[in-house]
Amino acid sequence: MALNPHHLELFHYVARFGGIAQASKRMPYGVGQPAISLQITRLEDALGVTLFQRRPFKLTKEGEKLAAHIEPFFRGLERIETELRGKAAPLLRIGATELVQREHLPDLLDRLRETHPTLRISLRDATPEALTDLVRAGELDVAVFMTAVEPPKDLRFTAMITAKPVLLVPSAHPARSAEEILAPDHISAPLVCLPPQEPACVAFRALLEASGRIWEPALEVATQSLVHSYVKSGYGIGLGLDLPGHPTPDGLRSLPLPGAPLVTGGILTGVNELPVKADFIRLAEAHAATLSAPAAQSAQRAATSTPITPPAIRDRDTQPTMAQSTTAHSMGRKPATRSSSR
């Protein structure tokens, strides 16, 4: 009896992505986990073998043999589809974190369409770790993100900008260095920052963990400009990045964080060679250069200079109330050394 090609295709994605749940999420068309599980069971029944261990996922010897046999065929289908579609209109699959998509990609894509007017674009939002996996799996052509960890060695990472994590305080704040804020065993000031997966937070968490400290965010916001505004309004001490060409906004001072990992922004690419990908990288490098240009300084200053009016009754040296705070996430993992007022 001939094997069902659809069953083989589903097994290809299960083997490629490491399990039924991951295959259901990442394969190019929607198939639910129960349906995949049923079809794989039928394939195993037809072959008379078990193809993989379910929990934890691991291919059996028979599964490895079948996966290696069918992989070139299904990978080849993806390549020929890209080639055939490319004759009508090229496709660029871009992955980026939310902040990059919101604040940088629109200008880049506008410029790219000037030379590629028929370009089709696919955008995906994910963490740097997930974007790396997608590039490695061949599901993305490029990934644009900032990271505080070492980029993978098996892929090509083009670094375009580096930044240092800093603490942000109002101009009148008495502290003259980050050490004055971090030195006491009792960190009483509220922390205002971006969500925990953002690279500035990852770098700061690494610094705190290295010294056995913990400092939980009191207020998480979506953009760096909002961090600036809330700090100027007295909601606490901010966490930010000292980006080249972007001076600290009026009303704030930045305090360097010695020992914190650098944050690097760049583009991660796989092995496929697309002319439009090379053009995108070239435009991204030019865009990164403008971030350090003097012209960017006034724009950054204007974008981050609007304070937010704080509540009428609030002690600025204590934590914000529940109504003023968003969800707090731990910035460290050693609660035994924690001595926070929260």
pLDDT along the chain (342 residues), means of 10: 86 91 80 90 94 92 93 78 64 86 88 88 88 85 90 86 94 93 78 92 93 91 92 96 85 95 90 78 86 49 48 40 36 38 36
Residue 323: per-residue pLDDT: 33
Q: Which helix (DSSP H) or strand (DSSP E) does residue 16 occupy?
A: helix 5-17
Taking the model in full, what pTM does it have?
0.59
Task: Quick: pLDDT tens for 68-83.
Answer: 999 888 877 766 776 6
Residue 85: per-residue pLDDT: 61
Task: Quick: pLDDT tens for 245-270.
Answer: 778 999 999 999 999 999 999 999 87
| Contacts for 181 with CB less than 8 Å, ≥ 6 apart | 167, 169, 175, 187, 189, 237, 255
Q: What angle do CA 145, 329, 168 make, to 5 degrees?
A: 70
Residue 86: per-residue pLDDT: 54
Task: Quick: pLDDT tens for 67-126.
Answer: 999 988 887 776 677 666 656 567 889 999 887 888 889 989 999 999 888 888 989 988
Residue 289: per-residue pLDDT: 82
Please name each of the domains of the chain with its CATH number. Answer: 5-87 (1.10.10.10), 91-342 (3.40.190.290)
3-state secondary structure of 53: strand
